[in-house]
Amino acid sequence: MPVTCALNFDPISLAQRDRIGAVICHLLESRWAEVRSALLIACGFEAG
């Protein structure tokens, strides 16, 4: 993203990949551990 932004993992839902559309940004490899943790918390598998 060209500016600082945030991802919200609270409203998690499933979607078919072909219905999502074009990729709007890429996430640095170093941030994927944070994404994993946020998804586990949002799904109730980890305490927040």
Q: Evaluate whether residue 4 is within a structural domain.
A: no
Residue 36 dihedral angles phi and psi, to the nearest 5°: -60, -45
Domain encompassing residue 30: 9-48
- What is the tens place of the pLDDT at every residue in 7-47? 887 788 888 888 888 888 888 899 899 999 988 988 889 88
Residues in Cβ contact with 30 at an 8 Å cutoff, skipping those fewer than 6 apart: none
Q: Evaluate whether residue 38 is within a structural domain.
A: yes
C-alpha triplet 16, 46, 42: angle, nearest 5°: 35
Q: Evaluate whether residue 3 is within a structural domain.
A: no
Residues in Cβ contact with 35 at an 8 Å cutoff, skipping those fewer than 6 apart: 7, 9, 27
Domains held by the chain: number = 1
- At 1, the pLDDT band (50, 70, 90 cuts) reads low
- At 6, the pLDDT band (50, 70, 90 cuts) reads confident
Amino acid found at 3: V
